[in-house]
Amino acid sequence: MKSLRGMRDILFEESERFNFIIDTASKVAKRYGFEYIETPLLEETALFKRSVGESSDIVGKEMYQFIDKGGNDVCLRPEGTAGVVRAFIQNRLDRQQRDFKFFYYGPMFRYERPQKGRLREFHQFGVESFGEARVEEDFFIILMVRDIFDELGVGYKIKINSLGCSECMPKYRESLIKSLEEIREGLCQDCQRRISTNPIRVLDCKNSSCQELLKDAPKITDNLCQECNRDFKRLKSLLDSANIEYEVDKNLVRGLDYYTKSAFEFVSDEVGAQSAIAGGGRYDRLVEFLGGKKTPAVGFALGIERILELVKLPEKNREGYYLGAMVEDGLSEIIKLAQKLRKNEKVKIEYLPKSLKAHLKGADRVGAKYALIIGEDELKAGKVWIKDLESKSESIKSIEEIA
């Protein structure tokens, strides 16, 4: 049997890097005042339809959706934001007059065509900040992503855009549709379909002949209302004054429908065609749209698998103990000793009696700091032979002394 297509095991060195990414990102998020939240992997399908959007590829084509034994229409989460917003409303946090900041990580599921960097089960680390309407919060979210990638040693480029609000977006949408209708014939099938379902997504079509035709299409950043324009300017000036390089990408629209105002992506040219390593933005209407009290919000998520190969683990020091006996009778002593040491230390036990050379090889393989070996002489004397594998010094101590 094999794992399903687009789903994979993570083990050995890779799993260490996987955990290192989560630990590093969690540490940075805590510095920015975020707290851990855990939400279910399975949610009502309607939650994603309403938040991510019926016309998005994620909802339209990629959901792991089924009817459970109770007849409920459910779905494995394709992303983290919707569930966190649901939890925010369900726990009545929208009724409190304060901000809430959450971080999370875990598996997400999208039935996509698998390729390098694109899986059907993948893992995200993400954050959601509720209750802060000011664009300064968007700035700090971008800064936090930068800090995470800097600490992990991952290179990136930042792209930003503004997607407007309920005042300017509908007007812009109308004028975009009008201009898309004029070039309809030359656009690809997907784009033609999107003119009526999701015209904004036409802008980020990967097809170069579509992009050529789209050159003269109106851009949202040239059609922002006063408030959105002010916020976008402010975001750029905050990034400038922090010496953060970015590119304004007028075609950056994101694949999820809930965004308003700031949208951003971190891309890497070291990870292949799927270059987006993180994405996010503001979604000021979503809480209200899902039945909560109107609450501004902004967040991001990064794809752990996309950066797994780029992350280098910090140098590891030797740690813990390797315990072995050279004679069968020594094993009982080893077992007693291990129980005591394991209260505080990492311990590897070798159950089989082996030569000293074989034990030292085993100790080296597990990266132990000390090898504790009981041979025939040591057993008779109630002692243990110890080698410090860092300093290479050797000694003999009584079993009681060590325990």
- Binds ligand HAM by CB under 6 A, chosen from 44, 57, 112, 345: 112
Give the shortest CB-105-to-ligand HAM separation in angstroms: 11
Q: Which is nearer to ligand HAM, 127 or 334 (CB)?
A: 127
When asked if residue 103 is in the footprint of ligand HAM (CB under 6 A), the reply is no
Residue 372: how many CA atoms within 13 Å on its side-chain side? 27
SS3 402: helix
Q: Which is nearer to ligand HAM, 266 or 385 (CB)?
A: 266
> In this structure, what token pair is assigned to residue 349?
């036990």
Antiparallel, parallel or unpaired: β 321-325 and 370-374: parallel
Give the shortest CB-277-to-ligand HAM separation in angstroms: 5
- Binds ligand HAM by CB under 6 A, chosen from 202, 252, 277, 379: 277
When asked if residue 224 is in the footprint of ligand HAM (CB under 6 A), the reply is no
Q: How far apart are CA 309 and CA 179, in angstroms?
A: 42
When asked if residue 81 is in the footprint of ligand HAM (CB under 6 A), the reply is yes
> In this structure, what token pair is assigned to residue 63?
């959901």
Which residues share a beta bridge with 395? 386
CA distances, 390 to each of 322, 325, 359, 394 (Å): 13, 21, 16, 11
- Binds ligand HAM by CB under 6 A, chosen from 25, 85, 191, 276: 276
- Restricted to residues 118-147, the positions that interact with ligand HAM (CB under 6 A) are 118-119, 122, 124, 126, 128
Q: How far apart are CA 338 and CA 320, in angstroms?
A: 11
When asked if residue 299 is in the footprint of ligand HAM (CB under 6 A), the reply is yes
Residue nearest to ligand HAM (CB): 303
Q: Which is nearer to ligand HAM, 119 or 287 (CB)?
A: 119
Q: Which is nearer to ligand HAM, 289 or 348 (CB)?
A: 289
- Binds ligand HAM by CB under 6 A, chosen from 303, 324, 330, 375: 303
Binding characters for ligand HAM, 246-275, by CB under 6 A (x = yes): ---------xx-------------------
Q: How far apart are CA 337 and CA 320, in angstroms?
A: 13
Site for ligand HAM (CB under 6 A): how many residues? 27
Contact between residue 349 and residue 339 where contact means Cβ atoms under 8 Å apart: no
Q: How far apart are CA 33 and CA 124, in angstroms?
A: 19
Q: How far apart are CA 334 and CA 327, in angstroms?
A: 11
Contact between residue 147 and residue 28 where contact means Cβ atoms under 8 Å apart: yes
Q: How far apart are CA 18 and CA 28, in angstroms?
A: 16
Contact between residue 280 and residue 301 where contact means Cβ atoms under 8 Å apart: yes
Give the shortest CB-3-to-ligand HAM separation in angstroms: 15
Give the shortest CB-108-to-ligand HAM separation in angstroms: 7
Q: For binding to ligand HAM (CB under 6 A), which residues are involved?
A: 79-81, 110, 112, 117-119, 122, 124, 126, 128, 255-256, 276-281, 299-303, 305-306
